[in-house]
Structure 1
Amino acid sequence: MPPRAGDPRGVPRGRAAPRGDGSSGAPRPAPRTNGRDREGAHMNGGSNGHAVLVWGANHCGQLGDGTRGERPEPVPLRDTGDDVVAVTAGSHHTLALTRRGTVLAWGANHYGQLGDGTRQDRHRPVAVRELAGVTALAAGGGHSVALLADGTVRTWGANDWGQIGDGTRHDHHVPVPVPGLRDVVAVAAGGGHNLALLKDGTVRTWGSNNRGQLGDGDKTERRTPVAVRDLGDVTAVSAGGYFSVALLKDGTVRTWGTNHWCQLGDGTNEERATPVPVRDLAGVTALDAGWHHTLALLQDGTVRAWGNNHCGQLGLTPDHDPTAPVTVPALGHVHHVTAGYRHSLAVRAPQGRGGPDQCLVWGLTPDDRPPVPTGPVPLALTNGHTDRRIRSLAAGWAHTVALLEPLDRGAS
């Protein structure tokens, strides 16, 4: 179900951000840093030394820097207050989890997805109301999801497809519990649907289902959670625009939902209302679903990708549209991946002992120039601060957020 005309959600999608962990938002490769930005590269580190960097589109304030101006190069976010331990990006809004289990939000708020009790866009971080004890977050199109330490889930924002999960279709401007959902260990948010992974390895879904993205064998909207059919032993979940992805204990992957751009990686472009295996894929340790494509990190540090490649987001020339996973070239040994709408990012392990990580990016550039034809290129994030490493990245529709942490100099 596409967004309504004038819908600020644009092209929505999102995924989980575990605790401890219009235009294009892909950054320019290897940007130069001016003196002012170097001064700002103290990066608002809190008592735990973490820092947040943002870049890309900003028309709704989704960068949280107090402006609405696009940032083609990473800039430090100074107003996160409490120490941030995890970040996630929705279509046009951003969420950050603090070490105290509270949540900060900024960006688009037309549906109340910031959870501050209003519908006013916020250009700087604000506290999500009536929410504590959070361990993981997911940001979708116009809604947000939080996993609590007790295994229950809170949601807020748009509810036109039942994505809040409370049995209604009323938007909520502050978090509300999802009734009957317990023992949850991970969450993911898509365009208008959500996934919850239970501790027994099964998955519950709710919200929009017009493409079979709930995996219950039907295409009927669900306003309360339902079980995904024929699926167990799941260890991780992710949600694209209108499709869903699950990583199994044996390192294989299952997908379901829309398949117009071969997002399911099963060798076809047929829609699936129940899970199907991704072809020729094993040894996966982590994954992330973008709007029309998915990235999978393998045990050997390589990355496989499948789905839409019209902007080079699979790391290949745009004239190459694979129906099954392909290896993203020239990455080296990777330990983190994230997929946006028209861009992808990965974190490569240090080349030398004790050195900083390197961020690699590929896909569409911020000013809508043609994609970089040679695939992944480096992006400077630590601004010469060799005492920092990239803890995590999160990509929205047209913006990206990075969380940095101090290097452990005592590590071998």
Structure 2
Amino acid sequence: MHQRHAVLNIFTLWQHEKRMRLQAERVRFARYNRMLSTGVMHSVALTPNGDVHCWGLNMRGEAPPEGIEHDPDDPFTAVSAGGGYSVALSKNGNLHFWGSNLRGQAPPQGVMTGEFVDVCAGDFHTVAVTRDGHVRFWGLDAFGEASPDVFHDGTFIAVSTYQAHSLALRSNGTIACWGRNDCGQAPPDGVDGDFKAISAGTFHSVAIRRNGNLHFWGGNEFGQAPEEDAVGDFVAVAAGDFHTIAITREGHLTSWGDNAYNQSPLGPLVYLGLQPEDYVLSRDNDNIIRPTDIPIPLVNIATNLTHTLALGQDEHIATFGRSDYGQAPLQGVFGPFALPPGVEAWRPFFSS
């Protein structure tokens, strides 16, 4: 009898340790995509020392060209760009806001202290996760996307939001959804499964399963959310207006949906880091960059309405899509920029 109890105790401990490992993997993976972010007309990215670099439209102070410096003892670890404002998460769990607060999405005191582990900026609202696994939201609540009356069971580890709906990933891999749901992008019963990353678009949503496949739901007018899972070993995904972009573990990019501004290229991309002389960049009308090639593995991606950022393993950012306010400059954005945890910098053979 004692031996049986000992075996049961060992098995229970093994199960607990397995759950803890899976949860730690989900936490790491779910926050993988927080090194760079695209707002409506501006962009932000983390530098290796924990500062924030900004570019694009700065009408409301959302993208100061001098960037945002971190407290010497509290570097930034995540960044998110919204509609005319930006927010950064620091190592100690503080949220720092700058830009517009028209709808209360960026509290005027500028800093919310001490309890956060993830954050995502929407058009006019913000969603965040606290250390104890609760979801907090503030700002515009036109469709319930930032409703304090919404209660969700479970312990949450990551959030994603965009225009009018929000997603939250639980520690058990299931997803809670709320807000606008006219295309099925935010089913009130959530999405069951074993997921490790999420991304909310305008009328669709996408998540990475634990096996690396992509799962889509919601509007599919332009093919941005196929009915069938996309099979592959995906490590990052970003849902945009009517397009979806994802990166595989090998650093390759795949895209689905609308490509009106070349924000979702179906062919090779422009490489704008350290490039040899024979790399040709071209520009078409409407400030749209036309791509050629990227010979560097990609490790992170961000997209919004009409422009996209791709972080290369060489710590530089390639930009493509619309750039009427400099949010996707033709010359790209030279780093170094912070790479996701566990990713080593790749140095091209032609670097000096």
Per the TM superposition, whether the score is higher than 0.5 is yes
TM-score, structure 2 length as denominator? Answer: 0.72
| Per-residue CA distance 1:298-355 (angstroms, 9 max, x = gap) | 0211010111100011235899xxxxxxx995353111111122111111123xxxxx
Q: How does 1:324-335 map to 2 (within 5 A)?
A: 330-335=294-299
| Per-residue CA distance 1:141-190 (angstroms, 9 max, x = gap) | 211011111111111001121112333xxxxxxxxxx5344311111112
Instruction: Give the Cα separation in 2 of the matches to 1:300 and 1:344.
Output: 19
User: Where does structure 2 lack aligned partners over 5 or more consecutive residues?
Assistant: 1-29, 268-282, 285-290, 347-352
Deviation at 1:134, TM superposition (A): 0.5
Residues 23 and 138 from structure 1, CA distance in 2 versus in 1: closer, same or farther, beyond 3 angstroms?
closer
Higher strand share: 1
Deviation at 1:407, TM superposition (A): 7.9
Q: How does 1:3-402 map to 2 (within 5 A)?
A: 24-25=41-42, 49-63=49-63, 65=64, 75-78=65-68, 80-81=70-71, 82-116=74-108, 126-128=110-112, 131-167=113-149, 179-214=151-186, 216=187, 226-229=188-191, 231-264=192-225, 266=226, 276-279=227-230, 281-316=231-266, 330-350=294-314, 357-367=315-325, 379-382=332-335, 388-391=336-339
One-letter identity of the residue aligned with 1:335 = V
Residues 56 and 360 from structure 1, CA distance in 2 versus in 1: closer, same or farther, beyond 3 angstroms?
same
Higher helix share: 2
Contact 1:26-1:343 within 8 A present in 2 as well:
no
Residues 199 and 228 from structure 1, CA distance in 2 versus in 1: closer, same or farther, beyond 3 angstroms?
same
One-letter identity of the residue aligned with 1:227 = D
Contact 1:295-1:304 within 8 A present in 2 as well:
yes
Residues 149 and 360 from structure 1, CA distance in 2 versus in 1: closer, same or farther, beyond 3 angstroms?
same
Contact 2:42-2:326 within 8 A present in 1 as well:
no
One-letter identity of the residue aligned with 1:284 = F
Instruction: Give the Cα separation in 1 of the matches to 2:32 and 2:136.
Output: 15
Instruction: Give the Cα separation in 2 of the matches to 1:251 and 1:407.
Output: 23
Report how many aligned residue pairs link the two structures. Answer: 289
Show the counterpart of 2:287.
Answer: none
Deviation at 1:44, TM superposition (A): 12
User: Where does structure 1 lack aligned partners over 5 or more consecutive residues?
Assistant: 1-15, 28-42, 66-74, 118-125, 168-177, 217-225, 267-275, 320-326, 351-356, 383-387, 393-405
Instruction: Give the Cα separation in 1 of the matches to 2:189 and 2:70.
Output: 37
One-letter identity of the residue aligned with 2:80 = T
Q: Which has the higher contact order (CA 8 A, sep 6+)?
A: 1
Overall identity of the aligned pairs, in % = 27
One-letter identity of the residue aligned with 1:391 = L
